[in-house]
Amino acid sequence: MMAIDAATAARRGRLRLPSAPLIWLSLPLVLLVGVAVLAPLLPLDGARVQDLNAVLQPPVWAGGSWSHPLGSDQLGRDVLARLILGARLTFAIAGASMVAGLVPGTLLGLLAGYAGGPVDRVISRLADAQLAIPALLLAMAVVASRGNSVSVLVFVFALASWPQYARVVRAEVGSLRERPFVMGLRAAGLRERRIALRHVLPNVFGIVVVVATLQTGTIVLAESAVSFLGFGVTPPDISWGQMLADGKDLLTSAWWVAVIPGLAIALVVLNVSLLGDALATEMDPRRKR
């Protein structure tokens, strides 16, 4: 009877559905990413085609026309089309940078937390040194020396983000390596590398997902800041930060050129931050109480 109850509880744990906050916070991001992925299939020629007869048209609710629902910029390009194409590149940079920082950061954190001793000290000092350099300053220095490109931005943001994963994973692994199940695996004769990769690493997956979610929002904000300062995405590529930079001189005459992409950045970063907090609550039962 006890075995049946345990099996039933295990099945229920596997089939447990996400909570309502997770679903509602994930939905806008899924829709945005879906639209960004399908952007090449959408009629978005107005994103790059200049129309001098439609310069600085206001959004439709401010007296504009439905031909440019969110208005047009100083070259007559459609703001909505540029917003969608900009989302594609912004999310691509954020996603690639997140993965490029997650993999080495998680592995180094696992190594530091499980091995301890000199290995832990070396990796921890490297992470501290990296965190001491402001990400924005690092991005400006690397871009100034290597040139503007998407690959350079991904490299810079990954370099700036790996210590976040390493420190969190190191702390979690440090508490796991002395747990009874790890000691039992050692007593059973399993190799340390197998224990670390097959049994300890899966137990830190939840916290890594939370950190990755929060880092995605941070990278979106960082890319926007770098592009706004002229060290990020450059024409003909489009990103939300570049759109913000294009409209900074038009705030008094054509506010929508800068305010709309700025609002998109703020809402996405806020949504990602709330989603990360909801994930942390979902994966840590103590926070639910």
d(CA 68, CA 77): 9
Cβ neighbours of 241 (radius 10 Å): 29
In a domain, residue 51? The reply is no
Give the pLDDT confidence score for residue 267 in this predicted structure.
Answer: 92
Average pLDDT for 248-273:
90
The model's pLDDT over 82-136, given as tens digits with 9 standing for 90+, comes to: 999 899 899 999 999 999 999 999 999 999 998 888 999 999 999 999 988 888 8
The model's pLDDT over 165-213, given as tens digits with 9 standing for 90+, comes to: 999 999 999 888 878 887 888 788 778 788 888 888 888 888 899 999 9
Give the pLDDT confidence score for residue 21 in this predicted structure.
Answer: 75
Task: Read off the CATH number of the domain in which 256 is found.
Answer: 1.10.3720.10
Give the pLDDT confidence score for residue 8 in this predicted structure.
Answer: 40
Give the pLDDT confidence score for residue 238 in this predicted structure.
Answer: 87
In a domain, residue 13? The reply is no
In a domain, residue 64? The reply is no
Give the pLDDT confidence score for residue 108 in this predicted structure.
Answer: 94
Helices in the chain by DSSP H: which ranges? Answer: 2-15, 20-37, 79-115, 117-131, 135-146, 150-176, 180-187, 192-195, 205-228, 240-246, 256-283, 285-288
**For residue 283, what are the domain limits?**
20-37+71-288
Rg value, the chain, Cα: 23
Cβ neighbours of 214 (radius 10 Å): 19
- Give me the percent of the chain exceeding a pLDDT of 90: 30
Give the pLDDT confidence score for residue 4 in this predicted structure.
Answer: 38
In a domain, residue 222? The reply is yes
**Number of domains forming the structure of the chain:** 1
The model's pLDDT over 142-153, given as tens digits with 9 standing for 90+, comes to: 888 887 788 889
In a domain, residue 5? The reply is no
The model's pLDDT over 216-237, given as tens digits with 9 standing for 90+, comes to: 999 999 988 888 888 888 778 8
Give the pLDDT confidence score for residue 12 in this predicted structure.
Answer: 43
In a domain, residue 231? The reply is yes
d(CA 3, CA 108): 39
In a domain, residue 10? The reply is no
Q: Which residue, 79, 95, 129, 11, is CA-closest to 257?
A: 79
In a domain, residue 55? The reply is no
